[in-house]
Structure 1
Amino acid sequence: MSVVALTDYDFPMKDVRENFPAPLLYIGWEDHLLFCAPFCLPLPPDTPFGALATAVLPGIYGYHPDFAQIDWSKAEWSKSGQPWQPDPAKSLAENGLQHKDVIRFRTPGLTGIQGSFS
């Protein structure tokens, strides 16, 4: 949607990288309606991507009954709406993730509490 400003619309952006303790990364779990939107997390760029599954995501998604059943080797990832295959051994930065990027993961066979998304 376009915006028509009545006066000059010139001001410094407040959501630039320098204003946060670490780059922000949005992470969403597809087909799980318990979570209405991706979580926004400040994560250091040197964080190994594989640490998301073991150290980061359990703290935000771990209470969902499907979480313990995830086979991370089969997770399907997307970045900014496009299929994407991250390397778990590389850092977030080495996987090309930058401030305010959006990634999502789908877990085949898991579609919400008692299949509520299917």
Structure 2
Amino acid sequence: MAVTAIGKYEFAPKDPVEKFPAPLLFVGWEDHLMFCAPFAVPFPPTLKFGDMCRGAFPGIFGAHPEFAQIDWEKAEWFKSGQPWQPDPEKSLAENGLGHKDVIRFRTPGLTGFKGSCS
């Protein structure tokens, strides 16, 4: 919805990075409706991207029956809706990720519980 203001619409954000233990990263798994929206997770910018997938994602997405079947080499990544290829050996910051960025991944061949998103 568009907003028309009668004056300048400038204000300090209420959720700057300084208010969190680490920058927030929003992470979502495409085609898996068990998770209706991306998760907001505070990750240190020095965390390697691959360590995030191997270390944190089991606790976030592991309840899904297809999680154990993910082939991370074939995962398709999106940053702010655009195709994106992260380097698993680089940190989140080195991959260009910052506070409140949104990333999503798609897992070819896995289309939700019992193919619910196929």
Q: TM-score range by the shorter chain?
A: over 0.9
Q: Distance in 1 between matches of 2:45 and 2:51?
A: 12
Residue 26 (structure 1) aligns with: 26
Residue 117 (structure 1) aligns with: 117
Q: How many residues align?
A: 118
What's the TM-score, normalizing by structure 1?
0.93
CA-atom RMSD in angstroms: 1.4
Residue 43 (structure 1) aligns with: 43
Deviation at 1:5, TM superposition (A): 4.8
Residue 99 (structure 2) aligns with: 99
Deviation at 1:11, TM superposition (A): 3.7
* Gapped regions of structure 1 (runs ≥ 5): none
Task: Show CA shifts across 1:6-36 (max 9, x none).
Answer: 7875542111111111111000000001110
Written as runs of structure 1 = structure 2, the 5 A alignment for 1:68-83 is 68-83=68-83
What's the TM-score, normalizing by structure 2?
0.93
Q: Once superposed, which parts of structure 1, at least 4 consecutive aligned residues long, lie more than 3 Å away? A: 4-11
Residue 67 (structure 2) aligns with: 67
Q: Distance in 1 between matches of 2:45 and 2:54?
A: 17
